[in-house]
């Protein structure tokens, strides 16, 4: 029974199924780890949002990168906006509508600056630079915001071109401003004095678990299905072999009976 499983064809089939099942299992574990990472991030975000804003300099130092645990910290900082070095982020949509995020450096009394995402403005399309960006408050301004990490891995996306970028990054802006920048940027939540015309602020982050749990179950199901399929096809082939053997024995018996008659 099942000796055919030692054939080259079935051994190759088994190796293929093992590789497929192992790959699906690994992808399931990857999605599970992503779920754990997201839940950990949600805990950090919730903790920061329950805390009062702290001074920016108590969290970050110019020239030093952020840590994962510092992201989403609510901070407070005072300075003067520099609209001359302001940029907008192309291809920023809200509910499917085209627009742009407005990024304005806030220069502190120390001479260093932090990038501030002042909010979103609707545009006629996603690629053209908006020409109706509301001005930031003039003079000394005290703001509060969420600390965010740089985004965009591609160098071209981070470098300003005609006053526009594709991704917000203090690294990409560093060579285009006449002062040092804190790592990352702030999502503006409030400012005093307020701007004459406000932009739409960045919405709070989604704290759900995302699709990772169900994706992990899907991959593990595919792994189990591949393994089950191998055993099922082996059982089907063995059953067909038994039927063929039984039929051959029946024909042999009938033929022997006729000869004896």
Q: What is the pLDDT of residues 214-229, one digit of tens each?
A: 999 999 999 999 999 9
Rg of the Cα trace of the chain? 32
Q: In this structure, which long-range contacts are made by residues 229-233, counting pairs with CB atoms below 8 Å and at least 24 apart in sequence?
A: 229/17, 230/13, 230/14, 230/17, 233/13
- In this model, does residue 28 exceed pLDDT 90? yes
Q: What is the mean pLDDT of residues 9-29?
A: 93
pLDDT at 254: 64
* Residue 200 per-residue DSSP state: B
Partners of 186 in beta bridges: 116, 147
Contact 122, 98 (CB under 8 A): yes
- In this model, does residue 197 exceed pLDDT 70? yes
- In this model, does residue 56 exceed pLDDT 90? yes
Question: Residue 179: which pLDDT band, with cuts at 50, 70 and 90?
Answer: very high
Across 91-100, 131-140, 204-213, the highest mean pLDDT is recorded for 131-140
Backbone angles phi, psi at 106, to 5 degrees: -115, 115
Alpha helices per DSSP H over the chain? 8-49, 155-158, 170-173, 212-260
Q: What is the mean pLDDT of residues 48-74?
A: 90
pTM of the model: 0.75
pLDDT at 153: 62
């Amino acid at each position: 029974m099942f000796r055919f499983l030692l054939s080259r064809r079935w051994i190759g089939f088994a190796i293929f199924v093992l590789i497929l099942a192992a790959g699906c299992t690994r992808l399931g574990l990857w999605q599970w780890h992503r779920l754990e990472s997201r839940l950990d991030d949600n805990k950090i975000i919730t903790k920061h949002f329950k805390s009062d804003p702290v001074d920016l300099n108590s969290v970050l130092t110019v020239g030093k990168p952020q840590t994962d645990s510092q992201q989403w910290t609510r901070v407070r900082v005072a300075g003067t906006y520099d609209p001359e070095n302001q940029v907008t982020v192309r291809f920023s949509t809200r509910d499917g509508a085209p627009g742009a995020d407005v990024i304005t450096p806030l220069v502190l009394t120390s001479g260093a600056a932090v990038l501030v995402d002042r909010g979103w403005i609707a545009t006629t399309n996603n690629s053209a630079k908006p020409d109706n960006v509301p001005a930031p408050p003039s003079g000394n301004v005290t703001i509060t915001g969420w600390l965010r990490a740089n985004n965009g891995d591609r160098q071209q996306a981070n470098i300003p071109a005609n006053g526009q970028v594709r991704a917000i990054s203090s690294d990409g802006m560093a060579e285009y401003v006449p002062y040092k920048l804190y790592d990352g940027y702030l999502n503006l939540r409030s400012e005093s004095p307020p701007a004459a015309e406000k932009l739409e602020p960045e919405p709070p982050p989604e704290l759900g678990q995302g699709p990772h749990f169900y994706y992990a179950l899907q991959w593990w199901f595919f792994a189990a299905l591949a393994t089950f399929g191998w055993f099922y096809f082996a059982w089907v082939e063995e059953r067909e072999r038994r039927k063929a053997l039984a039929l051959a024995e029946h024909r042999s018996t009938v033929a022997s009976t006729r000869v004896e008659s």
